[in-house]
Amino acid sequence: MNADIHPALVGSLSASNPSVRLINFSPGPASLPKAVEREIAASFNKPGLTSLALSHRSPEFQKILDHTIASVRRVMDIPDDYAVLFTHGGGHGQFAAVPLNLCRNRSDLATYVVNGTWTQRARDEAQRYCTVQTIDGRDSAGGYTTFPELSEAHIDANSKYLYMCSNETVNGIENHRLPKLPESRRHIPLVIDASSDFTTKPIDWHGDRVGVLFACASKNIGHPGATLTVIHRDFLGPDKASPLCPGVFNYTTNVEAGNLWNTPATFNIEVIGYLMDWLEREGGVAENERRCIAKSRLIYDVIDNSGGFYGTPVPNKALRSRMNVPFNIKGGDEALTDEFLITSWDEGIIGLRTLTPFGVGDYLRASLYNAVTEEDAAFLADFMQRFASRN
């Protein structure tokens, strides 16, 4: 790190003053709720083996795995005709796994809604394994600020699936409910990248015809290393996947082996279990959605009432992300943005800028995942208001 550059400007997550309480608005990996952190710390102090040492084939780990899956099923109301699997390789792993499991042949069609960084990357990866048709979500200026219309004309009736990301983290675009396909295309299952919004709103699994949904752990439900993948059993069977599908990505192989075809990320799965238990104690997904609406409204209200001091890129309020609020300062004023980062960092507000290779322009991003409380969001909103008044 260049010693001349203030740590806040290169995404430092350390406290400038150790007595300051840190509030982590990072887009992920993100913090875990304090209660979950305490449970993890306690798990290292209990008698017997630590969780890191449990064999995946021990009855002790089987209990953790069963508990975590049952807890996820209850929290997200996942019907029995879906399998729940913890997969390797993060969301990017699923970018390959989805076409490799759902398209047996390279000539099979798949439709991708591309309206941001993650759907772009998912589409690029899918093109190795199937024939992709893209629904281009760019706006008239060529940017990603919206979700395109899903009209019959854009969706081939033979598509094996329609792929979308329910929350485009980088671009701040969210579908608060899954879109309905046109009547004549309702037979096509949805594949949902829910990496950054899973557990923050209900999913109507059957009504929305969800085929596959995946969520990497490191935003709302855990830490990096395990990805939660929910698969309708229609997509399981001996001849479903492409022969090119690596075993470690093969849904059927892994479901049949009870998630133990190879060693899963045991501790990471245990942490997801703690998170799900916490969500249940906190009132489940309905209460969590209320909180997410409230947290994001606090920030968007400051932006919208700032008389143009703050800007946010998504014009349609119905599509604004509750998870990631991108905002710039006086149209991207560099000096003011740096001052904002440094002064907020001094108050313990961290993670607003990460050194991502995905251009986010002048935008900072406040990510409001499960560990960020309403009080935390109010603290940031208050800081933003004070900063605007000063400048």
User: Binding of a copy of itself at residue 342 (CB under 8 A)?
Assistant: no
| Shortest Å, Cβ 43 to a copy of itself | 10
Nearest distance from C-beta of residue 367 to a copy of itself, angstroms: 10
52 binds a copy of itself (CB under 8 A): yes
Contacts of 148 (CB under 8 A, 6+ apart): 113, 115, 135, 136, 137, 154
Told to check if 284 binds a copy of itself by CB under 8 A, we report no
Of 148 and 246, the one with the shorter C-beta distance to a copy of itself is: 246
Q: How far is the CB of 55 from a copy of itself (least distance, A)?
A: 5
Residue 110 binds to a copy of itself (criterion: CB under 8 A): no
Retrieve residue 386's tokens. Answer: 């004070």
Q: Shortest Cβ distance from residue 381 to a copy of itself (Å)?
A: 22
Within 13 Å and on the Cβ side, how many CA atoms surround 242? 21
Contact characters 297-336, a copy of itself, x per CB under 8 A: ----------------------------------------
Bridge partners (DSSP) of residue 193 are 165, 214
Instruction: Identify the three-state secondary structure at position 216.
Output: strand
Element (H, E) at 303: helix 284-304
Kindly tell me which of 50 and 151 has the beta carbon lying closer to a copy of itself. Answer: 50
Contacts of a copy of itself in 29-48 (CB under 8 A): 29-32, 37, 40-41, 44-45, 47-48
Are 213 and 229 contacting, i.e. CB atoms less than 8 angstroms apart?
yes
In this structure, are residues 179 and 193 in contact, taking their beta carbons and an 8 Å threshold? no
Interface mask toward a copy of itself for 258-277; x: CB under 8 A: ---xxxxxxxx--x------
Task: Give the closest residue to 299 by CA, choosing from 285, 287, 276, 317.
Answer: 317
Q: Report 112-171 residues binding a copy of itself (CB under 8 A).
A: 125, 128-129
Residue among 373 and 385 whose Cβ is closer to a copy of itself: 373
Is residue 57 involved in binding a copy of itself (CB under 8 A)?
yes
Binding mask 62-101 for a copy of itself (x = CB under 8 A): --------------------------xxxxxx-xxx--x-
Q: Are 159 and 315 in contact (CB under 8 A)?
A: no
Both tokens of residue 161?
């699936």
- State which of positions 220-259 bind a copy of itself (CB under 8 A): 222-226, 243-244, 246-249, 257
Q: How far apart are CA 161 and CA 163, in angstroms?
A: 6
Interatomic CA distance for residues 193 and 213, integer angstroms: 6
* Residue among 55 and 391 whose Cβ is closer to a copy of itself: 55
**345 catalytically annotated:** no
Which of 17-25, 73-81, 138-146, 162-170 is the region at the interface with a copy of itself (rule: CB under 8 A)? 17-25
Q: Does 53 bind a copy of itself (CB under 8 A)?
A: yes
Identified binder of a copy of itself from the candidate list 58, 158, 305, 316, rule CB under 8 A: 58
Are 203 and 224 in contact by the 8 Å Cβ rule? The answer is no
- CB of 335 or CB of 355, closer to a copy of itself: 355
**Any idea which residue has 């916490």 for tokens?**
278
Q: Does residue 294 touch a copy of itself according to CB under 8 A?
A: no
- Establish if 7 lies at the interface with a copy of itself (CB under 8 A): yes
Region for 216 from its dihedrals, namely left if φ exceeds 0, alpha if ψ lies in -120 to 50, beta otherwise: beta
For a copy of itself, the closer of residues 63 and 180 by Cβ is 63
Choose, from 219, 278, 330, 345, the residue flagged as catalytic: 219
CA dist list (Å): 176 to 136, 179, 367: 20, 9, 16
Q: Which of residues 347-366 bind a copy of itself (CB under 8 A)?
A: 351, 354-357
Site string for a copy of itself, 366-385 (x = CB under 8 A): -----x--------------
Encode 132-197 in three state secondary structure: EEEEECCCCCCCCCCCCCCCHHHCCCCCCCEEEECEECCCCEECCCCCCCCHHHCCCCEEEECCCC
Instruction: Confirm whether 261 is a catalytic residue.
Output: no
Residues constituting the chain: 391
Provide the annotated active-site residues.
Answer: 118, 193, 219
